């Protein structure tokens, strides 16, 4: 084992009479470890938040949506068959989507009614896994009343429970200044779902496609089609292709395009947050420089003795570079371990919760990926090595006679 390593190690773990330097070293390691853990967790939370929102969106809206601007798609079965011929398409589900008023005396609210074919829709989205009360079905009951499934936020605002009857009013033919003669129908609440995203839970209600076609006077027609692909990454490319194949009045949008403002906001917030937490690592690096300078000052006599015994400036430089490297590696190990442990605790137990009405999800997700660990730890180690350059250079320049005389 090279003597430079042994000397460097002894400088970091010193005797009691010079233990103050050791304490400063431990503080430097702790500061750098906390900085590394903070940066890893920050990236993990940002990635986790983006992935969670993305999964929520895809879980409700599918990969693609093809719809018509002009009163719906009349030849629905023919168009559905055409879409299924694309080799990238895994499943297709027709839907009708309309704005309505929902009422449960004395409360009323706006709602987006979405008529679906349960069998086809379930091939895209396992909505039954999100049901918290009741059963996901729309068949007529003994009073000839169809079923409706509400989001948890909407159900809470109305104060309804499974089994209650509610009124849906169609706003399609209302004109300003005219007393509305709205089409109304009675529905029985069969189930309540919770996607965990307020934009969906507070706004959408599901009924059967057949019931929607009758209620909105669209026999045999649909508003559009939800499309699930074999590979989600092809959604933007497939949207462009469908826009080329289906001209006006048709429109195709990927899940990203339907929520572009949301994901642009997420991307915009990443950079300033990373810069802010990256400053912690930078401060820890400056603290490391101070620690190594203190070690150099405290060890001037040792440096003079080593040089008088024949050690080269290069060996002295190597001693303090090794010190910085040891501090960096130790901080990386502890920082990575701390980040992983905190991330595991959060994902396992959901210790930190947030308001889903504001942030779209209820628990802070932490997505810890290997690439983030490698990137941040590499940057931290490089920073540690750079931080050692000046103190090591100062130590290497000391002359034996000068070092002993100063001591």
Three-class secondary structure of residue 118 per DSSP: helix
The sign of the dihedral angle between the CA atoms of 283, 284, 289, 290 is positive
Q: Which pLDDT value is given to residue 403? A: 53
In a domain, 227, yes or no: no
Place of tokens 């019931």: 211
Q: Which pLDDT value is given to residue 179? A: 42
**Smallest Cα–Cα separation from 274: which of 54, 40, 50?**
40
pTM over 0.75: no
In a domain, 151, yes or no: yes
CB-neighbour burial class of residue 15 (10 A; exposed 0-12, middle 13-18, buried 19+): exposed
In a domain, 400, yes or no: yes
Q: Same domain, yes or no, for 272 and 352?
A: yes
In a domain, 79, yes or no: no
In a domain, 64, yes or no: no
Place of tokens 């200044």: 177
Q: Same domain, yes or no, for 105 and 165?
A: yes
Three-class secondary structure of residue 221 per DSSP: coil
Total number of residues shown for the chain:
407
Q: Which pLDDT value is given to residue 178? A: 45
Share of the chain above pLDDT 90, in %: 37
Q: Same domain, yes or no, for 287 and 154?
A: no
Q: Same domain, yes or no, for 288 and 154?
A: no
Cβ–Cβ < 8 Å for 242, 66 = yes
Q: Same domain, yes or no, for 50 and 98?
A: no
Q: Same domain, yes or no, for 51 and 142?
A: no
The sign of the dihedral angle between the CA atoms of 113, 119, 122, 128 is positive
Q: How many Å apart are CA 71 and CA 219, to the nearest integer? A: 12
Q: Same domain, yes or no, for 39 and 152?
A: no
Share of the chain above pLDDT 70, in %: 91
In a domain, 253, yes or no: no
What is the average pLDDT across 230-255? 91
Q: Which pLDDT value is given to residue 168? A: 93
Q: Same domain, yes or no, for 117 and 189?
A: yes
Q: Same domain, yes or no, for 216 and 339?
A: no
Cβ–Cβ < 8 Å for 328, 318 = no
- The domain boundary, picked from 174, 190, 222, lies at 222
What is the average pLDDT across 135-143? 90
Task: Tell me what the pLDDT averaged over the chain comes to.
Answer: 85
Residue 223 has pLDDT above 50, yes or no: yes
Q: Which pLDDT value is given to residue 400? A: 66
What is the average pLDDT across 213-218? 90
37-46, 278-287, 304-313, 393-402, range with the lowest pLDDT: 393-402
Q: Same domain, yes or no, for 103 and 9?
A: no
Residue 225 has pLDDT above 90, yes or no: yes
As for how many domains the chain has, the answer is: 2
Q: Same domain, yes or no, for 295 and 376?
A: yes
What is the average pLDDT across 230-240? 92
Over the stretch 292-341, which tens digit does the pLDDT of each residue have? 888 777 777 777 777 778 778 888 888 888 888 888 899 999 999 999 99
Q: Which pLDDT value is given to residue 264? A: 86
**Smallest Cα–Cα separation from 253: which of 21, 69, 127?**
69
Check residues 254 and 60 and name the one with the higher pLDDT.
254
Q: Which pLDDT value is given to residue 339? A: 95
206-220, 258-272, 386-400, range with the lowest pLDDT: 386-400
Parent domain of 212: 94-222
In a domain, 229, yes or no: no
Over the stretch 65-108, which tens digit does the pLDDT of each residue have? 999 887 788 888 888 899 999 999 999 999 999 999 999 988 88
In a domain, 62, yes or no: no
- Catalogue the long-range contacts made by 279-284 (C-beta closer than 8 Å, 24 or more residues apart): 280/34, 280/35, 280/38, 280/39, 281/32, 281/35, 281/36, 281/38, 281/39, 281/376, 281/379, 281/380, 281/383, 282/383, 283/31, 283/35, 284/28, 284/31, 284/32, 284/34, 284/35, 284/331
- Token pair of 74, please? 């009349």
Q: Same domain, yes or no, for 267 and 196?
A: no
Q: Which pLDDT value is given to residue 334? A: 96
């Amino acid at each position: 084992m090279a003597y430079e390593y042994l000397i460097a190690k002894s400088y970091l773990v010193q005797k009691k009479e010079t233990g103050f330097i050791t304490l400063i070293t431990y503080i430097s390691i702790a500061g750098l470890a906390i900085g590394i853990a903070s940066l890893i967790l920050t990236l993990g939370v940002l990635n986790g938040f983006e992935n969670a929102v993305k999964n929520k969106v895809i879980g409700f809206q599918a990969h693609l949506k093809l719809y018509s601007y002009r009163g719906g798609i009349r030849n629905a079965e023919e168009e559905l068959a055409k879409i299924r011929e694309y080799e990238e398409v895994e499943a297709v589900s027709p839907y009708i989507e309309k704005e309505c008023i929902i009422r449960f005396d004395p409360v009323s609210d706006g709602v987006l009614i979405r008529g679906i074919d349960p069998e086809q829709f379930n091939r895209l989205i396992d909505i039954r896994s999100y049901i918290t009360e009741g059963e996901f079905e729309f068949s007529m009951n003994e009073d000839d009343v169809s079923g409706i499934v509400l989001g948890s936020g909407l159900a809470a605002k109305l104060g309804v429970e499974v089994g209650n009857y509610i009124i849906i009013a169609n706003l399609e033919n209302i004109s300003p200044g005219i007393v509305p003669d709205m089409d109304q129908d009675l529905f029985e609440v069969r189930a309540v779902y919770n996607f965990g995203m307020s934009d969906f839970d507070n706004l959408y209600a599901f009924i059967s496609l057949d019931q929607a076609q009758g209620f909105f006077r669209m026999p045999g027609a649909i508003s559009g089609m939800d499309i699930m692909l074999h590979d989600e990454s092809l959604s933007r490319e497939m949207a462009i292709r469908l826009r080329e194949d289906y001209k006006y009045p048709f429109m195709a949008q990927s899940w990203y395009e339907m929520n572009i403002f949301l994901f642009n906001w997420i991307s915009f917030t990443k950079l300033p947050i990373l810069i802010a937490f990256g400053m912690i690592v930078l401060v820890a690096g400056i603290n490391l420089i101070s620690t190594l300078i203190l070690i150099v000052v405290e060890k001037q006599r040792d440096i003079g003795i080593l040089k008088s015994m024949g050690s080269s400036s290069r060996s002295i430089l190597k001693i303090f570079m090794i010190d910085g490297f040891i501090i960096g590696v130790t901080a990386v190990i502890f920082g990575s371990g701390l980040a992983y442990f905190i991330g595991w605790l959060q994902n396992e137990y959901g210790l930190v919760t947030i308001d889903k009405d504001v942030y779209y999800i209820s628990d802070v997700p932490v997505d810890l990926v290997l690439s983030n660990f490698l990137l941040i730890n590499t940057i931290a180690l490089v920073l540690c090595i750079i931080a050692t350059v000046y103190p090591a250079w100062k130590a290497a320049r000391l002359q034996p006679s000068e070092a002993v005389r100063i001591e």
